Amino acid sequence: MKKIHLTKNAVKNHEELFPNHESKLQKSDTEFIELFDNWAFDEVIRQSKLDSKTRVMLILASTIASQALGEYKVMVGAALNVGLTPVEIKEILYQAVPYVGIAKVFDFLHATDEVLQNKGIDLPLEGQSTTTPETRFAKGVAAQKAIFGEAIDKMRQQAPKDQMHIQDFLAANCFGDYYTRNGLDLKTRELLTFAMLISLGGCEPQVKGHVTGNLKVGNDRTRLIDVVTQLLPYIGYPRTLNALRIIDEVVPPMNTTTPMSHRPRTRSAETGQCLQLKFLWMRSTAGPRCARPDDRRSPLPLKLGRYQRPCAIASHGSKGYPFILVSQLHN
């Protein structure tokens, strides 16, 4: 039998999740496990600043969305090994219901109960709900606005009358029943939602909205790319690249490798002069009280030139001064 050669980091990271685990695949698929484990448990993790607990939470969310029940059951054990509580594991499951549907979560609920009971954990766990039938709608709208801001009011105003019940369900059920629960904070729930949506595939408009939502609650571009990177072994390259494209659309990178000669050119409507489009980051002088980048009527805390237009905001924490990406035409 071929001897497997795993790096020290791969062995260490694998052992943290699965202590004393004897892999059958190491014997039957030695060559594959060597290349996969050295990549997923060494190279990929080396790119991350996420702690093990957060990374495993995201993998659990991703495997639910991907319908990877076998991998999920294994990762529930890993989750307990790295310090997740039974309540946190259950809350990840419940958070998945409004995004992937009960039909896809049903088997995972039973699988989780089986693992927890085998570990000697009594069920049901302590309840985590913070709303009542009378308060769930108002608290749900408050949670929506905490993530998406006043755009929620606009979305409700523009909804067709025959679809208004869906907007009410979003507020009272998706956000009121789930986002307001204890066990996980709002920032973590929004990051888990992002992980589920990119794992589902075909949800690009929702991914885009939740990239914006994550930025609003403090999960910046760096953290989102970290999440996508850590989920790459579980969701594959196509969905990973789709997620990265959407992140770039919402909050473009501060550096670019595109040569100036390859950047788009346009012609001034006033002078007929051929101008070239470039982007630059300008630091806001008004702290986090920054206007929406897509609203040219809003007073921005910047002095913009004649051919400058704001197009994106980079979040640098709730107390930091945001940077605004400005498009500029120049010779």
Q: Is residue 10 part of a domain?
A: no
- Cα-Cα-Cα-Cα torsion 204, 206, 208, 214, nearest 10 degrees, comes to -140
What is the number of domains present in the chain? Answer: 1
Q: Is residue 17 part of a domain?
A: no
Token pair of 13 as six digits = 């990271």
Range of the domain at 325: 260-330
Q: Is residue 290 part of a domain?
A: yes
Q: Is residue 286 part of a domain?
A: yes
pLDDT digits (tens, 9 = 90+) for 219-264: 999 999 999 999 999 999 999 999 999 999 999 988 655 544 444 4
pLDDT digits (tens, 9 = 90+) for 85-143: 999 999 999 999 999 999 999 999 999 999 999 999 999 999 999 999 999 999 999 99
Q: Is residue 20 part of a domain?
A: no
Q: Is residue 307 part of a domain?
A: yes
Q: Is residue 59 part of a domain?
A: no
Q: Is residue 238 part of a domain?
A: no
pTM recorded for the entire structure: 0.78
